[in-house]
Amino acid sequence: MERRKVLLREEEMPRRWYNILADIRLNPPLGPDGKPVRPEMLAPVFPMNLIEQEMSPERWVDIPDEVLSIYALWRPTPLVRAVGLERALGTPARIYYKFEGASPPGSHKPNTAVPQAYYNKVFGIRRLTTETGAGQWGSALAFACAQFGLECKVFMVRVSYDQKPYRKTMMQTWGAQCVPSPSPETRAGREILARDPHSPGSLGIAISEAVEAAVSDASGKTRYSLGSVLNHVMLHQTVIGLEAKAQLAKIGEFPDVVVGCAGGGSNFAGLAFPFVYDKIHGRAIDIHPVEPAACPTLTRGPFAYDHGDTAGYTPLLPMHSLGHTFMPPPMHAGGLRYHGMAPTVSQLAVEGLIEPKAYGQVETFEAGMLAARNEGVIPAPETNHALACVVDLARRAKEEGKEKVILFNWSGHGLIDLASYEKYLTGELHDIAYPAEDIEEAEKILERYPKPQILKSR
């Protein structure tokens, strides 16, 4: 019988996260005065222990025992050989995936939600606010807050709030409050609704609302928590790639290609960054972040300074961006509907260490259906983007007769996303072309900001 899974014992779980800031150079975030942000400027938004991680130059950061204890509910996650998918494609490639759908909320997001809740609790914070697109991050933070006795309020992008009602139910089950965004509860939300009462919302808007709700708490006991983009989030997620490395080493394999879907960058970074380290140090490996063609941040957006939120509350970040006023179309991969990309991921793209790809919605669901029927697990719509790239790579390997090793991140299951599969099966799901005029209009705003330097790490 062919070996389908490679497992690690609980005691083999990584004890440290990998910090890519030790191996690349980044332009600094900028404040309203155009000068680099100082740590104390972020204190109203994040606890100082997470701010220190955000700016740490240390390559390895210890994982607290309290975090490891909760990780152990689902980690280490399995590395699975996709034998069924390989057979269906008739490819000589060996396809492996890291299955992150084993966590209680069903995605990779708790890898950072748990440590963020822990560090806030240690700092004396009582309540966290956040945003969520498809609901994976919101449900993950709700779960994490429940573990540490914190209150949690989630601003969920309106289109996903309507498309995925059971994500809201998950958050409420874990004790969180979930409101659709834009909402009348914040100034940012009210301004959006005044312009467009039927706004589908966006992650940028929801971030503005969550930040505003955190900093306006007079008690000083509320902070904001982010599920992607920032350095400390990428750091926490590297437990994925570190486990994958150890699992592949057990069977004498190393990937020729690493693939992950990319919205803000968290699950892609979690798998890819430990392998980017090898590429920086001379290992030959192709690494692909995959995004929606309807929201082509890396493949279409310029590398620029921009706000991470629509209202402009956040510092200016050096990233590939479609402009913080860009309103992505209401596609079903809600977790990938974000105008910007993590600065660390953006920097790797600038340096050519990673090669971004973009796929249309129908093609991604075709790949997801193929995977579901041959691997058994129904993938999240976000994961389908990675699968579309994997299918392409596997077919190319067949054409070239090459036995490549392909590794990708199965970032979550799609059991809360079955409405999108129903639309695909009934022929109601279509490709959404990105509105070029809207992007061009949104990008004009970037011209008023400083330009990031083109830095080289090698």
DSSP 192-256: HHHH-TT----HHHHHHHHHHHHHT-TTS-EEE--SSSSHHHHHHHTHHHHHHHHHHHHTT---S
Q: How many residues does this entry show for the chain? A: 458
Same fold, 5-9+68-106+232-448 and 18-63+109-230: yes
pLDDT at 214: 93
Q: At what angle do helices 266-280 and 343-350 cross, to 10 degrees?
A: 40
Name the residue ranges covered by the structural domains of the chain.
5-9+68-106+232-448, 18-63+109-230
Query: Averaged in consecutive runs of 10 residues, what is the pLDDT profile of the chain (458 residues)?
Result: 84 97 96 90 94 96 98 98 97 98 96 98 97 89 98 93 88 96 93 92 88 90 94 98 98 97 95 97 96 92 91 90 82 74 97 96 96 97 96 97 96 91 93 78 86 86
Pick the CATH number of 5-9+68-106+232-448 from 3.30.1440.10, 3.40.50.1100, 3.40.50.300, 3.30.70.100: 3.40.50.1100
Is domain 18-63+109-230 annotated with CATH 3.40.50.1100?
Answer: yes
In angstroms, the CA 270 to CA 272 distance is 6
